[in-house]
Amino acid sequence: MEKKVRKKIESIQREEITAYHIYCYLAKREKNSHNKEILTNIAKDEMGHYNDFKELTKKDVKPSRVQIFFYSLLCLIFGLTFSLKLMERLEAKTSIDYSKLEQHYPGIVKIIEEEEAHEKVLLDLIDEKKLNYVGSIVLGLNDALVELTGALAGFTFAIQNSRAIALMGLITGVAATFSMAASEYLSQRQETGRSVALRSSLYTGLTYAITVVFLITPYFLIENPFVNLGVMISIVIFIIFIFNFYISVAKDLSFIRRFLEMAGISVGVALLSFGIGWVVRTFLGLDI
Each residue's pLDDT tens digit, 49-91: 888 888 877 888 899 899 889 888 888 877 777 787 787 777 6
Amino acid found at 14: R
Contact 248/258 with Cβ under 8 angstroms? yes
Cβ-based burial of 70 (10 A; exposed 0-12, middle 13-18, buried ≥19) = middle
Q: Give CATH for domain 3-127.
A: 1.20.1260
Each residue's pLDDT tens digit, 89-146: 776 556 555 666 666 677 666 776 776 676 666 656 665 566 666 667 777 777 788 7
**Domain regions of the chain by residue span:** 3-127, 130-284
| Residue 176 reports pLDDT greater than 80 | yes
Sorted by sequence, the CB contacts under 8 Å of residue 209 that are 6+ apart come out as 173, 174, 177
- Number of other residues whose CB lies within 10 A of the CB of residue 248: 18
The pLDDT value given to residue 95: 56
d(CA 94, CA 81): 20
d(CA 173, CA 129): 27
The pLDDT value given to residue 173: 87
d(CA 268, CA 135): 23
Each residue's pLDDT tens digit, 22-59: 989 888 888 878 788 888 888 888 888 888 888 877 88
Angle, CA 142 vertex, CA 141 and CA 145 arms, to 5° = 80
- 9 pLDDT band (50/70/90 cuts)? confident
**Confidence (pTM):** 0.67
Each residue's pLDDT tens digit, 226-260: 898 889 888 888 888 888 888 787 777 778 888 88
User: In sequence order, what DSSP letters do the residues of 234-251 get, joined into one string?
Assistant: HHHHHHHHHHHHHHHHHT
| Residue 286 reports pLDDT greater than 70 | no
Phi/psi at 160 (5° precision): 55, 40
User: In sequence order, what DSSP letters do the residues of 116-146 get, joined into one string?
Assistant: HHHHHHHHHH---GGGGGHHHHHHHHHHIII
d(CA 181, CA 201): 5
| Residue 20 reports pLDDT greater than 70 | yes
d(CA 214, CA 212): 5
Contact 80/22 with Cβ under 8 angstroms? no
